[in-house]
Structure 1
Amino acid sequence: MTNPTPLRPWASLFRMAVAAGALFALSGCASVFLVDNQVQSYARWADRPTPTGAAPTIPQAPQVFGFDRLPSQQDSRSGAGQDELERLAAIALAKVGWTPAAAGVTAPWTVEVSGGTLRLPRAPWESPYDGYWGGGFGPGFGFPGRDYIVTGTGQIIYAPLFLRMETPYYKREVSVVIRHAASGRVVYETRAAHDGRWNSSNALWSAMLDAALSNFPTPPAGLRQVNIEVPR
């Protein structure tokens, strides 16, 4: 019987990389991913006028509101996306005791919600001219990309011997602005910003809205980080 042909070093490494990637993917199936948000909120309830001239108080739940849209949000091209964003915002606001007013009911508050995404070809700290072996290690043949792939659910699969592909990086932000309906005064404004590899999903936007409404209606001053765990 002839001796088996020994595996070439690159073949062994390839099999190890594939096995490690598969193990990583399987181990992450039942886990969560972290949506880390930079949040800044401004409460101006004291600026709200009262009919009697008495000092205004912070409204306690439950409260009802109506959504208000900017002209750009009423455009037919963005209408469907705005409908979905407002639906998710209504769920987040319900968690703090604020619900949409019934048809025909004049709500004392209006809520304006907006969101945006900036898609980058790679993370800000990544170079398009990393070496072929990844991370600056090895001779570096000038091929663009990286030695891993991030799936849509955030799983990282390493394949250091493949020609690496660019993985998009996203910067996202949501904002919620609450106005006193009778006067039009802004009484609450909050924003949440998050960046990372995750593809757009309702779970991601919901986590950002929950973060934006953390500590509502009396948020701390200054920029703060709010982490939300989302099941994969």
Structure 2
Amino acid sequence: MKPSTMHSLLRLAVTGLLALALGGCASVYLVDNQVQSFARWDDAKAGAPVPQPPQIYHFERLPSQKESPMAASQGELERLAAQVLAKAGWTQATTGTGAPWTVAVSASTLKLPRAPWEDPYNGWWPGFGPAMPGRDYVVTRTGQVIWMPMFPRFETPYYQRQVQVVVRHAATGRVVYETRAAHDGRWNSTPGLWTAMLDAALQGFPAPPEGLRQVNIEVPR
């Protein structure tokens, strides 16, 4: 078989496998989150009970979150957080209106070229020897160097993401609630993905279970 033909067949096979793995025929995809929450409502004042809905709040931002271009993405993140908080009976106060609580929301993304456990080349090329990461050639057992451009490296980006929500008592500035959700995976950034992470982070709000827990959210494709 000619190298060009082998190259074409290999590319078609790998492309097909990736399409099946990432696309498939499922109508939803799973966003699995590691979540940890801390509720300290007593820090607002001695003996303060867990606030019951309805409640109102203002969003607060760090100076960096107020500057462009981050301001636009921060506004979108707060819009999604407001939708999730509304499910718990918390409503954003109108401009110029006081509120007993402030809410700060933040998000981060680290893009990796591949998953942490993956190598550009794994294992052995049959009959040749170990394929070295980052190289387009292998060395035979007799020491001969063979260039193998017909075996391209296929890599899919991998993302490590986190969202954090912090609630403060407006009058004292004390933190009364803190929660974060972390998710690793290959899904592209979409409002649905961030909403799923915020849903996971605020699961059980304002009286969440203790300790680290896993919260899985299904998102429509």
Query: What is the TM-score when the length of structure 2 is the normalising length?
Result: 0.80
In 1, Cα distance between the equivalents of 2:188 and 2:22?
19
- Following superposition, the deviation at residue 210 of structure 1 comes to 0.3
Partner of 1:103: 95
1:231 equivalent in alignment to 2:220: yes
1:125 equivalent in alignment to 2:133: no
Partner of 1:17: 13
CA contact (8 A) 1:45 1:187 kept: yes
1:46 equivalent in alignment to 2:38: no
CA contact (8 A) 1:30 1:231 kept: no
Partner of 1:5: none
- Following superposition, the deviation at residue 113 of structure 1 comes to 0.2
In 1, Cα distance between the equivalents of 2:117 and 2:15?
28
CA contact (8 A) 2:33 2:183 kept: yes
Which residue identity does 2:116 align to in structure 1?
A: P
- Following superposition, the deviation at residue 167 of structure 1 comes to 1.5
Change (3 A) 1:18 1:186: closer
* Greater than 6 Å deviation, 4+ residue runs: none
1:182 equivalent in alignment to 2:171: yes
- Following superposition, the deviation at residue 221 of structure 1 comes to 1.5
In 1, Cα distance between the equivalents of 2:209 and 2:90?
20
- Following superposition, the deviation at residue 69 of structure 1 comes to 0.4
Query: What is the TM-score when the length of structure 1 is the normalising length?
Result: 0.77
- Following superposition, the deviation at residue 28 of structure 1 comes to 2.6
Partner of 2:145: none
Which residue identity does 1:37 align to in structure 2?
A: N
Partner of 2:141: none
In 2, Cα distance between the equivalents of 1:211 and 1:173?
11
In 1, Cα distance between the equivalents of 2:207 and 2:13?
50
Question: What does 1:52-131 correspond to in 2, within 5 Å?
Answer: 55-128=47-120, 130-131=121-122
Partner of 1:154: none
- Following superposition, the deviation at residue 46 of structure 1 comes to 1.1
Question: Per-residue CA shift, 1:171-191, capped at 9, x if unaligned?
Answer: 100000000111111000000
CA contact (8 A) 2:159 2:184 kept: yes
In 2, Cα distance between the equivalents of 1:84 and 1:101?
17
Instruction: Give aligned pairs, total.
Output: 203
Give the share of equivalent positions with the same residue, in percent: 63
User: Which residues of structure 2 form unaligned runs of 5+?
Assistant: 136-149
RMSD, aligned CA:
2.9
Question: Per-residue CA shift, 1:181-230, capped at 9, x if unaligned?
Answer: 11111000000000111111111110000000001111121111000001
Which residue identity does 1:33 align to in structure 2?
A: Y
In 1, Cα distance between the equivalents of 2:206 and 2:168?
13
